[in-house]
């Protein structure tokens, strides 16, 4: 492991060169950050849970024909993914008002939206990932019109899939963020869902109680983040039957 070439270290993950050309190993750290890294902590087991949960969602997406960068999970903390050129946008889909949208528009958190709303933020930590419009994206050449059509279609398909999976286990998908990458197959480029899909990048509320089962638990000091993520994994059948929210996360392969 130590001899592998590190390509990039982000807030929650490290990317290493993969074993074959065109592949990357994505390592999930236990680090949690919020508010553009002004709040930081190490949450034991978070990386293991996110690796497994992201594998679960990405595999499901691949299975229903939504292309992702995911190839396979390698171990508790690492997964093999296709190397891709990340489009410098955070693509956010919202079903209910929460977070920055609720604040920006003065809406009560939890208000149902008339339809899924897709927002784009520029991936730039120094600027705090500002909201941008399609006009900015086109004018500055961050993505083409064809890319934007494909991104919108991918985002809505991910939303339908994730909302359905979550509904099946009694969880409301309030909103989420994805990142999109370009992969090249010979002369052709296509877009794939990249990065990760996990409770770090979604808002997940228990349908019955409204309990938050996502990173807002950390952002807003609402209790144990590991307990919340373990609960999501447990409901999805990814935890051994005996495991409770109080035990250290051990995942079923
Ligand atoms: P908001 O704009 O309300 O802060 O976030 C909307 C959704 O996108 C939430 O589910 C949030 O977790 C996710 N999101 C927004 N920005 C980021 C980010 O920089 N990192 C991660 N992991 N998720 C983000």
SS (H, E, C) 186-197: CCEEEEEEECCC
Q: Does residue 249 form part of some domain?
A: no
In the structure, which protein residues have their CB atom closer than 6 angstroms to any atom of ligand 1?
90, 92, 98-101, 129, 175-177, 200-203, 215
Q: Is residue 119 part of a domain?
A: yes
Of 171, 168, 172, 167, the residue nearest 110 (C-alpha) = 172
Q: Does an H or E element contain 136, and which? A: helix 134-139
What order do you get walking across the sheet with 70-73 strand by strand? Answer: 6-9, 13-17, 23-28, 78-82, 70-73
Measuring from atom 18 of ligand 1, which residue has the nearest CA? 201
Ligand 1, atom 20, residue with closest C-alpha: 201
pTM for this prediction: 0.94
Mutate to test the pocket of ligand 1, among 176, 177, 213 (most ligand atoms within 8 A of CB): 177
Residue 215 CA to ligand 1 center (angstroms) comes to 9
- List pLDDT tens digits, range 179-213: 999 999 888 999 999 999 999 999 999 999 999 99
- Say if 149 falls within a structural domain: yes
> Which atom of ligand 1 is nearest to 200's Cα?
22
Over residues 130-184, the pLDDT tens digits come to: 999 999 999 999 999 999 999 999 999 999 999 999 999 999 999 999 999 999 9
**Could you identify the atom of ligand 1 that is nearest to the CA of residue 100?**
3
Ligand 1 atom nearest the C-alpha of 103 is: 3
Residue 80 φ/ψ, nearest 5 degrees: -95, 130
Residue for token digits 């919108």? 152
Q: Could you tell me the pLDDT band of residue 93, with boundaries at 50, 70 and 90?
A: very high
Residue nearest to atom 2 of ligand 1 (CA): 100
Only one residue has tokens 């079923």, namely 252
C-alpha 170: how far from its chain's center?
A: 19
Spatial separation of the C-alpha atoms in residues 253 and 194, rounded to whole Å = 22
What is the Cα–Cα distance from 66 to 192, expressed in whole angstroms?
A: 8
73 CA to centre of ligand 1 in angstroms:
24
User: Does 244 score more than 70 pLDDT?
Assistant: no
Flag whether 53 is in a domain. no
**Residue 148: inside a domain, yes or no?**
yes
Centre of ligand 1 from the C-alpha of residue 177, in Å: 6
Structural domains in the chain (count): 1
Q: Which of 9, 15, 5 is nearest to 78 (CA)?
A: 15
In a domain, 251, yes or no: no
What percentage of residues in the chain have a pLDDT greater than 90? Answer: 91
Q: Is residue 116 part of a domain?
A: yes
CATH number, domain of 135, equals: 3.30.470.20
| Domain-located, residue 187 | yes
Ranking 79-88, 194-203, 207-216, 235-244 by mean pLDDT, the lowest is 235-244
Question: Which domain covers residue 156, as residue numbers?
Answer: 85-206
């Amino acid at each position: 492991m130590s001899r592998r070439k590190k390509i990039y270290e982000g807030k929650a993950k490290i990317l290493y060169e993969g074993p074959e050309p065109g592949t990357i190993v994505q390592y999930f750290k236990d680090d949690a950050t919020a508010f553009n890294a002004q709040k930081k902590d190490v949450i034991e087991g978070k990386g293991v849970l996110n690796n497994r949960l992201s594998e679960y969602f990405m595999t499901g997406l691949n299975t229903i024909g939504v292309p992702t960068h995911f190839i396979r999970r390698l171990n508790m903390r690492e997964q093999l993914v296709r190397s891709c050129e990340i489009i410098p946008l955070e693509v956010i889909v919202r079903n209910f008002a929460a977070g920055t949208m609720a604040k920006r528009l003065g809406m009560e958190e939890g208000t149902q939206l008339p339809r899924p709303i897709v927002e784009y933020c520029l991936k730039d930590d120094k600027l705090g990932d500002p909201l941008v419009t399609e006009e900015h994206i086109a004018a500055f050449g961050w993505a083409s019109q064809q890319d934007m059509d494909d991104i919108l279609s991918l985002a809505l398909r991910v939303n339908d899939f994730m909302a359905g999976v979550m509904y099946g286990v009694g969880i409301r998908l309030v909103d989420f963020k994805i990142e999109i990458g370009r992969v090249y197959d010979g002369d052709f480029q296509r877009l794939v869902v990249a990065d990760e899909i996990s409770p770090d990048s979604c808002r997940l509320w228990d349908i019955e109680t409204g309990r938050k089962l996502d990173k807002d638990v950390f952002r807003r000091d609402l209790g144990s983040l590991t307990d919340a993520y373990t609960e999501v994994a447990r409901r999805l059948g990814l935890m051994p039957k005996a495991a409770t929210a109080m035990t250290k996360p051990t995942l079923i392969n």
